[in-house]
Structure formats: structure tokens, C-alpha cells
Structure 1
Amino acid sequence: MTEMTGGCMCGRIRYSAEIENDEAYLCHCRMCQRATGNVSIAFKNVKRAKVKWEREPDYHASSPIARRGFCAQCGTSLTFEYAEDKPSENIDLTVGSFDDPSCFRPIHHFGVESLHEAWLDTGALPRYRADEYKPLTDRWIKSVGKIPD
């Protein structure tokens, strides 16, 4: 078991989680698409008892059966969990909220009735580095004096 840390973009909400493996999944359901404003979201399913929050996330009841944890200050999506009288044993953490999301690998797709095939196989598309895009780097240098990590 490995302990990993994560949190929101502004740093207001932080967590640590004991991770058992590198398996994650992509959810394509319309609820996740709308909640994140994206075509899918990557989740890591973990034991609720293995997640320790420095500060609890804010929550939104995204449907009658589920709620989503997020940061009300910066808007980062952090969790998905079923909203029941007795909380389920597991919770989903957003892969992108981990400090090092590179260790996870997708093992399946969920909510495939809303999957957008064109967004899956993007290997042939041109690739551009953000740190080499001059209009962006100039803005960072002007604003804070450096390019962020």
C-alpha cells in the first residue's frame, strides 16, 4: 500500500490516501460530463476509511443518489460518492487531483452510453508543450515572474 497526497488547485483542500494499486477508470456518463464540463473524468476508487482530509471538501448533491466533493474557492472536482443514509465503503477521487497522477492507468470505461469515441484515440493529433507556447509563457512571466511547475 502506498500513501499518496492530493488536493485542489488553490491548495485550500488537501488529502492523503492509502492506495492499493494503480488501477483507475474513466467515467463518460452525462452526469460526470456536466459536473466537470468535460467529455469524461478519470477516477481512482479507494476505501473511504483510507482517505484523510486536512480540510473536508465542499459538497454538491449532483443527483438524488450522489454527491460530489469540490473546492468552493477554485472549483476543483475532487470526489464522487453515493449519498446514502449509510455511506458506502468506497469513494472515488479524481485522478487529476492527485499530486502525481502519472502512476495511475485506466483499466475500464464506465457510462459508455455517453462515450464520445473521437476523444478516445487522439494519438495521431499534433502535440504542443505549454511551456513552449510563447503567448502563454509571456503571460506567466509578466504576471508572476516565472513559468509554473
Structure 2
Amino acid sequence: MSRILAIDFGKKRTGIAITDELQIIASGLTTVDTAKLLAFLKDYISKEKVELFLVGLPKQMNNTDSESEILITPFLEKLTQQIPNIPVKRIDERFTSKMAFQTMIDSGMKKKQRRNKAMVDEISATIILQSYLYSM
């Protein structure tokens, strides 16, 4: 089987999570400078087999698109043009940053470690991916 890769897209940084080959476990992979995201993805899929990109869909509480969707749309166009053989699926990412922060607290991370926004982005991507796996 192939892996599923989740993307928590951000203006500056993007969190990345990946499944194992059996698509059972979601694990945080890294956080990438958003400007280098496409290059990272191309490099990653040259080494690992990925069958699906999951990209967070930021929604407001009233179910309208969040402001950050304006940034995600051009990225998705480039992604599907440059890597057309891997489908993209969107998944609601409401509350993932809050859940990621709570996960950091629950795991006993010190306050200074919890300020690491890159870690929050990576954990958020993992939560997006894990929620997708639960829904399968």
C-alpha cells in the first residue's frame, strides 16, 4: 500500500503528517517553510509512495471559508498541475490548532516547548490525518 500525506497549510509554515504504508498510524513528519512546500513534496514522493494528499479545509464556525483559504487555493492549483498523479482531498480542519495545543499540554510539554508554532503545525497535520483515518 501507499502512504497518505496530510498538509496543514499556513502562510509561513506548513505542517506535514504521514501514515505508515498500511495506513493505520498517523505520525507527524515535519514542518516546512511554505515557500518551499512544493519542492519538499516533489522530493518526498520521489522517495516514498503516496496515494493521496489531504489538505486542511479551514472553515469559520458558520461554515464559510476562512480567510486563509485565499492562500490555499493558488497552492492547490500548483499542486495539481505539478503533481497530477496524486489526488487531493480536503478535510475540515476546524479546531485542529487548539487540539494540537491541548495535546502538547496533555503530553507534559513545558511552556517554552509549547510556544514552538512549528510543532503545533505538525501536530495539527497529524490530527487532520488521524481524523481522516477514523472516518475511513
Q: Same fold (TM over 0.5)?
A: no
TM-score, scaled to structure 2 = 0.27
TM-score, scaled to structure 1 = 0.25
Greater relative CO, 1 or 2 (CA 8 Å, sep 6+)? 2
Write 1 or 2 for the structure with the bigger share of strand. Answer: 1
Write 1 or 2 for the structure with the bigger share of helix. Answer: 2
Structure showing greater Rg = 1
